[in-house]
Chains A and B, each alone.
Chain A
Amino acid sequence: MSFKRLKMQLVKLRLLLIPLFVVGGLLVHHWVPAQAQADDTLRLLYWQAPTLLNPHLSTGTKDFEASRLVYEPLASFDARGEMVPFLAAEIPSIENGGVAEDLSSVTWKLKSGVTWADGEPFTADDVVFTYEYISNPEVGAITSEYYTDIASVEALDPTTVKITFKEPTVAWFVPFVGTNGMIIPKHIFETYNGPNSREAPANLAPIGTGPYITEDVKPGDVIVYVANENFREEGKPFFKRVELKGGGDATSAARAVLQTGDADYAWNTQVEAAVLTQLEATGIGRIVPKPGPNMERIVINFSDPNVERDGQRSHKDVPHPFLTDLNVRKALSLAMDRQTIADQLYGVAGTPTNDYVLSPENLRANAPWEFNLEEAAKLLDEAGWVDSNNNGIRDKDGVEMRMVFQTSVNPVRQKTQEIIKQDLGKIGIDLELKSIDASIFFDSEPNNPDNLGHFYADLQMYTTGNDNPDPTGYMRRYICEEIAQKENNWSSANDSRYCNPAYDAMYAELVAMTDPDARDEQVKKMNNFLTVEDVAVIPLIDRASPAAAANSIEGIDLTPWDLEPWNIKDWTRKS
């Protein structure tokens, strides 16, 4: 092609491009920035899209979150662990006669004059109905476990509810409080209290007592809320309209708030620390860490994943060749570089910890930990694990110290795995890393050998924690009776197959205790037993779940015991 011709072609090409730029320019010119036209609209971004607005039938935290703008519990706990009344007129206590002396019942006084968004009065009957609905096995309520200790719930008068427990219980504050305690209206759900629960239109068109009502619900996409005109507090909420958009991923959700301003608030922006810091540098938004009871841990398999018995591997009666050795477990805990993992990968969203129970604050044992590879190597030497065949890996009686370490697919988790593999490699332990898609790792299908309940590996890593201020249920995870096996479809909580009569005895004591201070001490004692003395589990990171918020939004107050929009009526936009 001659030069002249090439030049002509370029001219033609340029002529072609001009109209394109003109059209593009026109479009940009006509655009009014979204912020300018919608000051009274709050734009929330949830990278997991809510699909259902009935908190008792929910299939994920996202649904609870989206329901919380509409429904309210009787009371909730704030970040300092203090109770805040919602539908209750006052917080019951032994002093004011609300809680029975022997802890066998609790009587709640309700606010009077509260109405549902459709104008119907809210009464004690609604609370009684909520209990009947949740405890009906045919409904299949996800929250039912929180209500199993209840003997009866009665309405003494329209504004008084009495809950009687089967046995005296210190955790009288669990039912109807916080995340799992949202009250639903009797007059709407009455005819759906049975196997037809899923057909209730109100599952997607909720009527609540909260600050907002839904205007438009598109499951898996967007929910538009408008202020509830019947809300009892004058002048609240401040935002007339809330749009909750769902979908996408955590990184781009953080970007939309921190970098482009496409949204005002993004939930659970669990992204690598370095990425968040970079996005935050734009200066239009901030990271709000949500404190919580969630802890990233290494779960140890006390049974042998490589031997099959009765059609299952990791059988509780086949002990692990070396993880049952306390010195080995102590060495593993010493070899975890918690500080580096926290600094490099979690940033503001995580601090190193060796505690099993993180929250409430008064239950924290502050168990000691250190990162010391030499000490770890020494412990292994003493236990007789030495590299006798010079292949770089310790062995004993012909067993090589090789392990499979599994977790879900997630960039932060894979990097944590790498750090641990390197450190363990230095002291002669060989790790094979395995990562499993989250939807497979976290499912409970009895036929799925790759989920955490089957635990067909030596170590695995995930996050959980107690979901209310009473950690009894969470302490239960390590008793012998809870061992996950084929008989119970691997659905119980003790995936470690850990069984120690000493721990079981401590748990039995805890359950029988009624004195709050003695209980606190007992929880701490059990905590230290699990993580220091017996190393049944290796805690790594105290995980806060960071949210991203525009600098213009004020009033956000996150608590570990309730959902993020729990005080949305107080959120405002600074002008």
Chain B
Amino acid sequence: MTRYLINRLFISIPTLLAISIVVFAILALAPGDPMAEFATNPAITAEVRENIRRSLGLDQPIYIRYVKWLWAFLRGDMGFSFNSRSPVVNLILQRLPTTLWVVGTAYLLAALLAVPLGVISALKRYTFFDQVVTTLAFVGFSLPTFFTGILFIIIFSVQLRWFPFIYNSTLRVTDWASFVAQVRQSIMPVMVLVLFQAAVLMRFVRASMLEQMNRDYVRTARAKGLRNFVVVNRHILRNALIPVVTLVALDIPTVFTGALVTEQIFRVPGIGALLVDSIFRGDTPVVMAITFIYAILIVIFNLVADILYGILDPRVQYTH
């Protein structure tokens, strides 16, 4: 087991290096420029532009910039944002709590909703309940979040005036009223994400349950005369949830990197919105940092998923 872990960690290093080289090269070669907005401004002459490029360190060749970036990253320095000229790490830390609150809550709610709904609809296959839930799930993952987002704004903000559609990140929760305000402004973005996430997860749980329900061991358990509850809870569910746990573990990195589209629509200042803005503005240090952190999280949670698999299913052997 330990040896397996060490091996896996060693394999991760070249993987991450390769990812960083590819991402860095793409960003360096892609069009887009932090001064883009001034392209038609008569005052921004070639000389001014050159000064700015030099002050941002863009006058050096790509490979030197890459080595500098890598060395700095290894020491925990993610560089300076071209746009705000502040350390990238500050920008990310500033937004992490908002992302974790909105996307994390949505993820948690989605999981809490999806597992029981999926289990029940598998057990009561083809009943009215199952049909309603699967239809909803179908709607949930067919509708893109930018559509449901705008739909929610039009219904709940513009027509009903229930919730504000601009997320106020300066709000501090100090008392009941500010807590209500916080919940109110989070409801729409959270619900949009829940609708989508829960739908995907619920369909997965349902399929996984159905797969186990007709297995021989279930029939054996029933033949032994065990109560239905025990069969479902101790036998089917335990096995059916193993792939679900993997799916959840592999999805956790997205909680940290935010929900790109949803954050943009509701002006939720999360990491996803930061990434989209930075791409539009050619702010490559920020894009590089976020994508690379994402890559690291994916590698780590892949490992976590593999280990979890072994714990949940003793048949899995760790060899290499």
Contact = CB atoms under 8 A, between A and B. Distances in A.
B95 interface: yes
Contacts of B29: 447
Given A54-B85, A439-B281, A243 B264 contact: no
A139 B39 contact: no
A5 interface: yes
B166 A439 contact: no
Q: What is the interface residue range for chain A against chain B?
A: 35 or more
A112 interface: no
B267 A247 contact: yes
A153 to B, nearest CB: 19
A467 B82 CA distance: 24
Given A220-B277, A248-B267, A488-B46, A442 B39 contact: yes
A464 B42 contact: yes
B41 A464 contact: yes
Interface stretch (A197-205, A424-432, A545-553): A197-205
A247 B277 contact: yes
Nearest to B42: A473
Interface in A179-228: 180, 195, 197-199, 203-204, 216, 218-222, 224
Contact of A49 (B94, B129, B277): B277
A66 B124 CA distance: 58
A341 to B, nearest CB: 19
Contacts of A27: 162, 180, 183-184, 187
Interface string B31-75: 111111111111111101101111110000000000000000000
Contacts of B142: none
Contact of B181 (A5, A31, A438): A31
A255 B158 contact: yes
Given A5-B128, A219-B91, A221-B269, A444 B36 contact: yes
Interface string B251-292: 000000000000011010100011001011110000000000
Contacts of A221: 94-95, 169, 269, 273
A5 B44 CA distance: 74
B153 interface: yes
Nearest to A450: B31
B267 A1 contact: no
Nearest to A294: B40
B141 interface: no
A492 B39 contact: no
B128 A180 contact: no
Contacts of B181: 31
Nearest to B53: A140
Contacts of B269: 218, 220-222, 247
B238 interface: no
A216 B166 CA distance: 18
Contacts of B32: 439-440, 443, 445
A45 B168 CA distance: 11
Given A51-B83, A219-B91, A247-B267, A443 B36 contact: yes
Contacts of B267: 245, 247-248
B145 to A, nearest CB: 15
Contact of B56 (A140, A216, A493): A140
A263 interface: yes
B51 A140 contact: yes
Contact of B153 (A252, A444, A451, A491): A252
Given A444-B39, A444-B49, A28 B165 contact: no
B170 interface: yes
Contacts of A488: 46
Contacts of A529: none
Contacts of B42: 464, 466-467, 473-474, 476-477, 493
B159 to A, nearest CB: 10
Interface in B72-90: 80-86
Most chain B CB atoms below 10 A, which of A141, A199, A247: A247
Contacts of A198: 55-56, 80, 85
Contacts of B54: 137-138, 140
B33 A445 contact: yes
A97 B177 CA distance: 61
A197 B85 CA distance: 9
B72 to A, nearest CB: 14
A30 B162 contact: no
Given A145-B48, A203-B85, A464-B40, A260 B157 contact: yes
A61 B52 contact: no
Contact of B86 (A137, A219, A263, A466): A219
Given A140-B52, A203-B86, A218-B169, A453 B180 contact: no
A467 B38 CA distance: 11
Contacts of A32: 177
The size class of the interface chain B forms with chain A is 35 or more
B310 interface: no
A493 B48 CA distance: 13
Given A31-B184, A57-B85, A262-B166, A467 B41 contact: yes
A467 B43 contact: yes
A448 B36 CA distance: 12
A28 B162 contact: yes
A125 B269 CA distance: 40
Interface string A414-443: 000000000000000000000000111011
Nearest to B181: A31
B142 to A, nearest CB: 22
B172 to A, nearest CB: 10
B8 interface: no
B243 interface: no
B83 A59 contact: yes
A144 interface: yes
B161 interface: yes
Q: Which one of A49, A438, A492 has the greatest number of beta carbons of chain B within 10 Å? A: A49
A450 B30 CA distance: 12
Contacts of A464: 40-42
A571 interface: no
B54 to A, nearest CB: 7
A432 B27 CA distance: 30
A142 B38 contact: yes
B40 A442 contact: yes
8 contacts: A27-B184, A30-B180, A59-B34, A218-B95, A439-B281, A443-B39, A445-B31, A467-B43
Interface of A: 1, 5-6, 9, 13, 24, 27-28, 30-32, 34, 45, 49, 51-52, 54, 57, 59-61, 137-146, 180, 195, 197-199, 203-204, 216, 218-222, 224, 243, 245, 247-248, 252, 255-256, 259-260, 262-263, 438-440, 442-445, 447-448, 450-453, 462-464, 466-467, 473-474, 476-477, 488-489, 491-493
Given A140-B53, A219-B83, 16 more contacts: A27-B183, A31-B180, A59-B37, A140-B51, A143-B43, A218-B94, A219-B84, A219-B91, A221-B273, A252-B165, A439-B280, A442-B39, A447-B31, A452-B39, A491-B45, A491-B49
Task: Rank and list the top 5 A-B pairs by shortest CB-CB distance, nearest first.
Answer: A140-B55, A221-B269, A448-B31, A219-B84, A464-B40
